[in-house]
Structure 1
């Protein structure tokens, strides 16, 4: 009798059943075997489960080995590049991750080409970024079309390929398509660039991405509060906002008394915590730079989060540091230490109200699209600093979109 692989999806269902029965190791083994057989759904589920608090020790190594052994595909390579750059289950090797995506671009992967373009844009290399975005747009990348439209809005002239493909972006369901098309429809078209001119990425691209941003403005010395103008390009803000949109859900917290989640009494918003399954090299670079802004390393960051506040929604006064509770919070503190810092990036500008306010310091921050704010949550002795009490004020009109990252004492 010849053994056959289970139908796609059966492995996921079986693994989830095993996880619910309290057998995480069996769940991971099932998914890893399916991933090595090319089951795309199992690949996403494996990466999703690897970030769960009750994941077994050594899961990152098992995930990395499974993804590395999976058949090459655009999705598999995207995930593998992130794991390599982030050091998930292996030694962190950003240059090797970049080399993998360069190879994917050469093989015609529009997603890889878009990633390379946005990495170049973050590092300040606009000319090669625009050439790569045009290449990716011609290959069908909606994110590339959106980025070209945003660059056109900034410069006052729209790339010909972006104007040509704007209707396709509208039909694709991209969440920012209508706004971008409306913002650029009356702008002139720029002169066509030489389509055959190669886009040359700088040799020090990954090194540049790993540098702590310079030129920030200190709003408070103790506790440290720093704002950074132009932290992320607008097109990169759009990429994160659009990519995180499918994960948004009403803000909830875990109730230790019931063991269930319930609405957050302090925050009315939509939130998305991005799992490893959603990450790529662009989101890796965003998280890396947000960590560096606080003086921390990538590995100290909790999952990158997206926060969306609609009119009337707010985040009432709160602290970001953790307090002992004799239960889950205490266990979390023992495992990774305190939340020592927070970094925020404003991803849009089409709203009123919603300032981040530190009431005890008489400091408020609104910023513009792509601006960042970073602040410490602890004092010089590492204790929760009550001067950091802060709130996200109610949004008056429009919709406020933020990226948020909490940094911990230990990886």
Structure 2
């Protein structure tokens, strides 16, 4: 039996070390050296370095980044077309792309087995007859995930559709991100509900992906400025920080901004919240109130919380409404619905009627997403969206 020996004149390059060195260079304001190190790691076969380098390049020259990602796909680096579609759809302020280009990138990755691209395509398409093609792919490449996300079983033979039908369904789905079936409930605080704004896949995906990261909910102490557990608010939550922003999370944030009419840079981090039976959030204001130095420092991060946007991920069997005691209104939690209301008026004064609560869950459980929107750009908005 022949024994393979490692040649000593070509030591194996530690790409993780190169990436760490590159990050250090960026932190030390030496971007050119950082990019050079990332290129070395990418050339050595690190897919993570390829994607990281493309993100850096995108900030300088988006078209060059798109070309680079396409070239890396031709070299056999997986995930590069998905990243190109993601950058185009959520970060290209010049809209220098077409829906067909987005679809083509995601489709190529999907048929090659990329789960993120398959889930992205299913989430966008509203037609079950068309999306079943990608449901079949998901079942083929990840049976366990398909079982958790889908209501039915699919086979590729049953899901025969043309590429034109697939592309058209994708484009129609994207257009739906800007269109909402709205019900105006109260004009005093601009309380509006968008019915079925999120798809079933979006709702189930967010619950499935982030449920294991939940931690007991906390409330910020107005005096110390520290977050603490408090019986005033029970349940659990997880912040969807920038490193968690994938296609589904980004799509939901984009829908929220289109629905409520705010720039994504003005948003705070989106939170996934879970309430079990009898858990609740007692009546409170979302606006930052008080006059302590801690509260004043909070206002420096984008100003006052002007808007609240909620998205319900499941239908609560009993209880769990979002209530507004001063208005005598209770909004039931229905899967896929989004809700928004104002916390302050045009002059920045607190709207007393925005006083609200998460009613106790009487049966089942409650899952939702929350987004607070400031008057100006937030730290999160700058980090996530530039």
TM range (shorter): 0.7 to 0.9
Cα 1:355/1:302, change in 2 over 3 Å? same
Partner of 1:185: none
CA spacing shift, 1:273–1:373, aligned 2, 3 Å: same
> Does the CA contact (< 8 Å) of 1:146 and 1:235 recur in 2?
no
Normalised by the length of structure 1, the TM-score is 0.70
Residue 314 of structure 2 is aligned to residue 348 of structure 1: yes
Higher alpha-carbon deviation: 381-390 or 291-300: 291-300
Point out where structure 2 has 5 or more consecutive residues left out of the alignment. 1-8, 378-386
Matches within 5 A, 1:169-208: 193-195=158-160, 198=163, 200-202=166-168, 204-205=171-172, 208=175
Q: Work out which of the two has the higher radius of gyration on C-alpha atoms and give 1 or 2.
A: 2
Of stretches 336-345 and 30-39 in structure 1, the one that deviates more from structure 2 is 30-39
Using a 3 Å threshold, how does the CA distance of structure 1 residues 356 and 254 change in structure 2: closer, same or farther?
Answer: closer
Contact 2:79/2:109 (8 A) holds in 1: no
Q: Give the RMSD, CA atoms, in angstroms.
A: 4.2
> For the Cα contact (< 8 Å) 1:253–1:263, is it kept in 2?
yes
Q: Helix, strand or coil for the counterpart of 1:222?
A: coil
Task: Identify the residue that residue 230 of structure 1 maps to in structure 2.
Answer: 196
Instruction: Decide whether the 8 Å contact of 1:226 with 1:375 is kept in 2.
Output: yes
Q: Say if 1:401 and 1:350 are closer, same or farther in 2 by CA, change over 3 A.
A: same
| 2:125 pairs with one of 92, 99, 120 | 120
When normalised by structure 2's length, the TM-score is: 0.74
- 1:113, CA displacement in angstroms? 2.0
CA drift of 1:392 comes to 0.5
Structure 1 residue runs of 5 or longer lacking an equivalent are: 51-57, 150-157, 163-191
1:318 to 279, 284, 289: 284
Q: Measure the CA separation in 2 of the matches of 1:94 and 1:314.
A: 44
Cα distance, 1:392–1:259 mapped onto 2, change above 3 Å: closer
Q: 1:223 to 1:250 in 2, by over 3 A?
A: same
Aligned length, in residue pairs: 354
**Residue 367 (structure 2) aligns with:** 401
Match of 1:86 in 2: 90
1:283 alignment partner, one of 239, 249, 272: 249
Question: Could you tell me how far apart the structure 2 residues matched to 1:306 and 1:31 are?
Answer: 34
Residue-by-residue CA offset, 1:174-205 (whole Å, 9 max, x unaligned): xxxxxxxxxxxxxxxxxx72546555122734
Question: Is the contact between residue 275 and residue 303 of structure 1 (CA under 8 Å) also seen in structure 2?
Answer: yes
Matched, 1:133 2:135: yes
The 3-state SS of whatever aligns with 2:166 is: coil
User: What is the alpha-carbon distance in structure 2 between the residues aligned to residue 361 and residue 249 of structure 1?
Assistant: 32
Q: Provide closer, same or farther for how the CA distance between residues 281 and 7 of structure 1 changes in structure 2, counting only shifts above 3 A.
A: closer
